[in-house]
Amino acid sequence: MKVNPEIPTFGDMSFRGDCPKEYIDQINFVSWLKHNYPMHRALFIHPKNEGKRSHNQVNYESRTGGIPTGASDCIIPGCPSFVVELKRQDHTKSQWQKGQQQYLIDAKEAGAFIGVAFGFEGLKDAFLQWLELQQ
């Protein structure tokens, strides 16, 4: 998996082996947020932009300003906002979806804290680095 050099990475990119699916890492992160940072958990957004949609659904969403193509997995409003894409800890088991890298670059240009996190620990590391900017 190639990462655009403009996108910071969080986690161990040299890791290879068995690792949880993205949704498990996401569940663990949300649980960790709820326990340790309840205010940030309350603001946490996970856009559901994966999956197949009918032509009518895509049409409706484009007219109503639905979820943009490539929207990141983890978004927390703030100054700056937290916009991070989650991938599996072993990045060779993940791939970019259409528009994901461009969404991150656009968010960066708008002033957001961005990155791609590899696994739960990578996501936690990204969050803690972002949190330091909030203080």
Which domain covers residue 128, as residue numbers?
Answer: 21-45+72-135
Is 12 part of any domain?
no
Average pLDDT over residues 29-47: 95
Is 64 part of any domain?
no
Is 5 part of any domain?
no
**Domains identified in the chain, total number:** 1
CA dist list (Å): 64 to 67, 72, 91, 131, 133: 9, 19, 34, 32, 33
- Taking only the tens place, the pLDDT of each residue in 3-18 is 999 999 999 999 999 9
Is 56 part of any domain?
no
Is 107 part of any domain?
yes
- Taking only the tens place, the pLDDT of each residue in 65-108 is 667 788 889 999 999 999 999 999 999 999 999 999 999 999 99
Alpha-carbon gap, residue 57 to 124, rounded angstroms: 34
State yes or no: pLDDT of 61 exceeds 80: no
Its pTM stands at 0.87
Is 129 part of any domain?
yes
Is 7 part of any domain?
no
Antiparallel, parallel or unpaired: β 74-76 and 82-87? antiparallel
